Amino acid sequence: MKFIETRGNDGQRPESVTFSEAILGPMSSFGGIYSPESLPELGISFLEEHLDKDYKTLARSILKAFEIDIDDSVIDEALDLYDHFDDCSAEQCNPAPVVKVSDDLYVSELWHGPTRAFKDMALQPFGKVLSSLAQKHQQEYLIMAATSGDTGPAALDTFKNRDNVRVVCLYPDGGTSDVQRLQMVTEDADNLKVIGIHGDFDDAQSALKMLLGSEAFNARLKEKNISLSAANSVNFGRIIFQLMYHIHSYLELVRQGAISLGDKVYLDVPSGNFGNALGGYYAMKMGLPVEKIIIASNQNNVLTHLVKEGIYDISESSVIPTSSPAMDILKSSNVERILFDLFGKERTKELMLQLDEEKRYALTDSELAELQSIFSADFCTDDEGKQYIKETFEKGYLMDPHTATCFKTFDTCRDDKSLKTIVYSTAEWTKFSPTIANALTGETGQSDRDALEAIATKAGIQIPASIKDLFNKDVTQSSVIDKDDIEKEILAFLG
């Protein structure tokens, strides 16, 4: 499997790279990223073969179909990390259980990993693969991550104390939940650095992309014998592990008797940086029977405008802080891979340069029609989300604010009401307890600790120890800086 550049080749880089090369150096010519040159075709026979197989076996088969240049022993060790998720063991592994909420709505719970969010599904194995590559090449790597709340804790957890790897994680100060912040700032491994910035996620992500593409910064790192990579979903090493759970979720519906093999379903995805939705798109192209992929946004609804109107416009926008902060994003990196796959490298380069320079672009009518044949979209306000949380809890299911946005799009975006819908739940209720407590009880101004206790009491459940213990840990990462000082802070960390 080869990977090619979304904005074409500048003559300074190879025309294509291997999977491991794309992982180690995720940025490509003209500020673009890497996408697969082609996708394996899996088909119904592949799905049928894996009906009686567990998640790890499915994942191995998908990686084999991609023909990636990673040793089998490394893949086995990476996938064995799923054994530490809820409901998994060495004998049988299901890290992403699918729960029936109503006759036509099923929730794929992607948050059963160590940091209680869906980023563990990709970052746990990805961390092992990348660090193994660094050791194989006998090279030190700086792994950068920008987070709106979930990528940071998951990246820090997977890379902590790994050889040949140091990690810098950027997050917007005040732009995450308190639990997410504590998961980051209480990490004490020597190879980890957490930096809060005065700004929003787009500022953090822009800084990451700028540094990844900066010749001067890379030269400074080279003087220290350090190479640079990223843990964000600009890195295809993340995406390949995300497409797997879409296929798994479909198979779970077949196993539960909700659908027959070959029946189409809707995939309903809460979207920020679009990596989760992109995984669903690739799964669909590889043969998963999908009617449409539904894109759920919060009030930062640029993706809704893109899918409905064909216009991506952030020229007069700023990030709106919401109760679903992991989706408080205006510039969604993985939309670029969709544009590339649908319209080619020249058009992608044209559109992305317009976005960089003019803060907007517009699709043609035919391009919009093609996009709408695959995606539909809507957005959910905070008040609407809290109402869905309350109503769904009264029916017996507890969910977080990001998942709640999908319940709005479930109501508004399906043309064929006879088909089943898989909603992707990206975070456990513990990550956003004040919002959920407010939705359930009307209480306002509660601390995360008090809100956790209130929800646990009302629902008759336990707070996971990993979350409860955060409030007794020492803060070891206290840096909060201006975004202009990020490079200096990173170089100081590296020594």
For 226, the enclosing helix (H) or strand (E) is: strand 226-230
CA distance 89 to 82: 8
Instruction: From residue 289, give the alpha-carbon distance in Å to each of 94, 227, 294, 307.
Output: 21, 41, 14, 21
User: Can you give 107-150 as a three-state secondary structure string?
Assistant: EEECCCCCCCECHHHHHHHHHHHHHHHHHHCCCEEEEEEECCCC
Domain range list for the chain = 98-114+237-467
Q: What are phi and psi of 80, to 5 degrees?
A: -65, -15
Q: Which residues contact 248 (CB under 8 A, 6 or more apart)?
A: 55, 58, 96, 108
Residues in the chain: 495
Give ∠ CA 250-255-259 in degrees, rounded to 5: 60
3-class state of residue 479 by DSSP: coil
CA distance 73 to 163: 17
Q: Give the count of beta carbons closer than 10 Å to the beta carbon of residue 159.
A: 26
Q: Are 431 and 179 in contact (CB under 8 A)?
A: yes
CA distance 396 to 356: 45
Distinct helix (H) and strand (E) counts, the chain: 21, 15
For strands 265-270 and 226-230, give the pairing: unpaired
pLDDT on residue 469:
96
Q: Give the count of beta carbons closer than 10 Å to the beta carbon of residue 64.
A: 12
Q: Which residues contact 166 (CB under 8 A, 6 or more apart)?
A: 140, 141, 142, 143, 191, 192, 193, 226, 493, 494
Please name the amino acid found at residue 128: K
Beta strands of 289-404 (E only): which ranges? 290-297, 311-313, 360-362, 375-379
pLDDT digits (tens, 9 = 90+) for 396-430: 999 999 999 999 999 999 999 999 999 999 999 99
439, 422, 334: which is closest to 386 by C-alpha? Answer: 439
Q: Please, what's the b/e burial string for 31-48 (b: 16 or more CB within 10 A of its CB; e: otherwise)?
A: bbbbbbeebbebeeebbe
User: Can you give 149-195 as a three-state secondary structure string?
Assistant: CCHHHHHHHHHCCCCCEEEEEEEECCCCCHHHHHHHHCCCCCCEEEE
Tokens of 366: 């035919």
Tokens of 63: 């990686």
261, 160, 168: which is closest to 207 by C-alpha? Answer: 168
Q: Are 248 and 241 in contact (CB under 8 A)?
A: no
Sites in the chain below the pLDDT cut of 70 = 89-91
Tokens of 393: 């809890």
| C-alpha torsion 264→266→267→268, nearest 10 | -170
CA distance 340 to 346: 8
Q: Look up tokens 């093999």; give the residue.
A: 261
CA distance 419 to 276: 21
Tokens of 50: 């894996």
Tokens of 206: 């822009």
Q: Which residues contact 356 (CB under 8 A, 6 or more apart)?
A: 31
CA distance 296 to 413: 9
CATH number, domain 98-114+237-467: 3.40.50.1100
Q: What are phi and psi of 322, to 5 degrees?
A: -130, 180
